[in-house]
A = this chain, B = another copy of it.
């Protein structure tokens, strides 16, 4: 198999004995061309299976009609959904999408940005890696006037558009739910503390406690590095608390699933002995036993909105002033949180 040679306008021109400009005009259906010439050219182009070289077009108009996307990891169902939303919307507006993963690494994130910018993407959609606690690379994009939109894992201070969930609100919903079910001693299992979502969900957790008149207790806030072993360690630590807490709210579903698995192995009954809730509504949440109470975050919608806004900016439809779009989440109450009801 040789390097596939694409048919160019030049070749059509030679075959038909006309100039390249004429080919170009014919294929754009220009009115200043003789209809017969046009017909012949279009026919020949089809016959030769001509397809325009997008690279050349992009170079000429300095717009690649391509968006760059950077997510921490594609294999996460949530980010895959976001990508799907971005794709579908971008394609419907004639844009291509180049996807990169940062693998939760700041260096990789920077490298991705370099590559995408070099590739002349018209704009970027970025969800920050876990490691990203410095933001020069983003300010650099900003200074260079390259359009980008942050989504889900954002940095709040940068004056660019952002699409986020009401993470605090979602956490509030789920903790409120646990409180309403009678729990008072509620653990919050957080990810790394400088992570945007860790902070926001903690806010919601604390707010709910406060409104129900429950005092904040630092010993009930556990931190995991989000690895499986880290999660299991936290699961064990929680069982050592005395008195044992009524309920545990994990920052993301995978943590809750690991905790659940560990506890089941130890013979702890959920929700009878302790209630459990997660966040994100991963596919796994619905199928574990007992089904996991969680908060639903429509990733597809988020991706679609982020893409819409970026493209609106690029196409000059949206104002260039940055905006912040906040999506609401929905509590998905399942069996894992029915602590006191079951007791009765």
Minimum C-beta distance from A89 to chain B (A): 13
A74 sits at the interface (CB 8 A): yes
Minimum C-beta distance from A49 to chain B (A): 7
Which residue of B63, B101, B146, B289 is within 8 Å of A87 (Cβ)? B101
Q: In whole angstroms, how far apart are the Cα atoms of A120 and B114 in the complex?
A: 21
Minimum C-beta distance from A312 to chain B (A): 12
Chain B contacts for A77, CB-based, 8 A: 75, 77, 80
Q: In whole angstroms, how far apart are the Cα atoms of A187 and B54 in the complex?
A: 51
Which of A115, A257, A287, A320 is the most central at the interface, judged by chain B CB atoms within 10 Å of its CB? A287
Which of A55, A114, A257, A322 is the most central at the interface, judged by chain B CB atoms within 10 Å of its CB? A55
Binds B, one of A1-9, A175-183, A204-212: A1-9
Please state if A84 and B59 are interface contacts (CB–CB under 8 Å): no
A117 sits at the interface (CB 8 A): yes
Please state if A145 and B2 are interface contacts (CB–CB under 8 Å): yes
Which residue of B49, B55, B97 is within 8 Å of A55 (Cβ)? B55
Q: In whole angstroms, how far apart are the Cα atoms of A145 and B3 in the complex?
A: 6
Q: In whole angstroms, how far apart are the Cα atoms of A283 and B228 in the complex?
A: 13
A324 sits at the interface (CB 8 A): no
Number of copies: 2
A81 sits at the interface (CB 8 A): yes
Please state if A100 and B87 are interface contacts (CB–CB under 8 Å): yes
Please state if B54 and A147 are interface contacts (CB–CB under 8 Å): no
Q: In whole angstroms, how far apart are the Cα atoms of A101 and B91 in the complex?
A: 10
A53 sits at the interface (CB 8 A): yes
Please state if A145 and B1 are interface contacts (CB–CB under 8 Å): yes
Please state if A120 and B1 are interface contacts (CB–CB under 8 Å): no
A277 sits at the interface (CB 8 A): no
Q: In whole angstroms, how far apart are the Cα atoms of A81 and B29 in the complex?
A: 44
Which of A118, A142, A257 is the most central at the interface, judged by chain B CB atoms within 10 Å of its CB? A118
A227 sits at the interface (CB 8 A): no
A273 sits at the interface (CB 8 A): no
A343 sits at the interface (CB 8 A): no
Please state if A147 and B1 are interface contacts (CB–CB under 8 Å): yes
Q: In whole angstroms, how far apart are the Cα atoms of A5 and B144 in the complex?
A: 7
Which residue of B5, B54, B261, B320 is within 8 Å of A1 (Cβ)? B320
User: Of all chain B residues, which has the CB nearest A98?
Assistant: B98
A51 sits at the interface (CB 8 A): yes
Chain B contacts for A117, CB-based, 8 A: 4, 6, 51
User: Of all chain B residues, which has the CB nearest A115?
Assistant: B96
Please state if B98 and A96 are interface contacts (CB–CB under 8 Å): yes
Minimum C-beta distance from A148 to chain B (A): 9
Q: In whole angstroms, how far apart are the Cα atoms of A6 and B64 in the complex?
A: 13
Q: What per-residue 1/0 map shows which CB atoms of A200-233 lie under 8 Å from chain B?
A: 0000000000000000000000000000000000
- Knowing A5-B145, A99-B97, A320-B1 are in contact, say whether A87-B74 is a contact too (CB < 8 A): yes
